[in-house]
Structure 1
């Protein structure tokens, strides 16, 4: 129950941060990615600002024996950059540039602009299904 409450609170804070910062606005994201047109640098400050608390969190985590709401840390391992990762990053970046959304903001947009967000999420889920069956 404690983990669920913490996850819910973190999700609400994250979603609110996306909405307030403009990261959930596809036009702002596309303007940020338009380096040679009407470039909008505000999201660079959002991303840069997100690095500060994350750097602090990693330092705190290294000093903790166990997390506050779980029995152990479950951190992903580090792997090298391979062909699948590079292709996935290219597809993600192209989708982000075309749609102006990525998974987190798309879910947050369900509350702000449900129809466009639902179309994006449907396409994202279809891509996940294709990936699952293509890479068995």
Structure 2
């Protein structure tokens, strides 16, 4: 129960941050990607506003033994570039550029962006569900060849 409460609070805070920063506006996000047109640098400030507190959070985790819930902190992500990261980044970037949404804003806008936003969210979830099985199948085909 306590874990779900913290998860809901974190999700609501994240969603509110997306709304306040304008990152649920697909035109603003696409404006960031339009380097040779009507470029909008706002996203740089949003990213800096996320990177700085996260750097501080990683420092704080070294001083604490565990989280507020008593569980261990996650380890830092691996810094190696592997095929999963590269292919995933390509698909993420392509979807972001085409739709102007990534997973967080897609969930935040699904309630007020109409059928297009809901369709994008459903397609995104379908891709997330299908990806592990597709990855396993591709690995099997590669091993058989």
Q: Deviations over 1:25-59 (max 9, x none)?
A: 11110011111111000111111111111111111
Q: For residues 109-120 of structure 1, what are the structure 2 equivalents within 5 Å?
A: 109-120=109-120
CA distance in 2, matches of 1:129, 1:72: 27
Q: Which 10-residue stretch deviates more, 80-89 or 16-25? A: 80-89
After the TM superposition, which segments of 4 or more aligned residues of structure 1 sit over 4 Å from their partners? none
Cα–Cα, structure 1 residues 79 and 39, in superposed 2: closer, same or farther, change >3 Å? Answer: closer
Report the TM-score, using the length of structure 2 for normalisation.
Answer: 0.86
Report the TM-score, using the length of structure 1 for normalisation.
Answer: 0.91
> Relative contact order, CA 8 A, sep 6+: which one is greater?
1
Q: For residues 77-92 of structure 1, what are the structure 2 equivalents within 5 Å?
A: 77-78=77-78, 80-92=80-92
Gaps of 5+ in 2: 137-145
RMSD: 1.5
Cα–Cα, structure 1 residues 115 and 76, in superposed 2: closer, same or farther, change >3 Å? Answer: farther
- Computing the radius of gyration over CA atoms, which structure comes out larger, 1 or 2? 2
The alignment covers a number of residue pairs equal to: 136
Q: Which residue of 1 aligns with 2:101?
A: 101
CA distance in 2, matches of 1:92, 1:81: 15
> Is 1:30–2:64 an aligned residue pair?
no
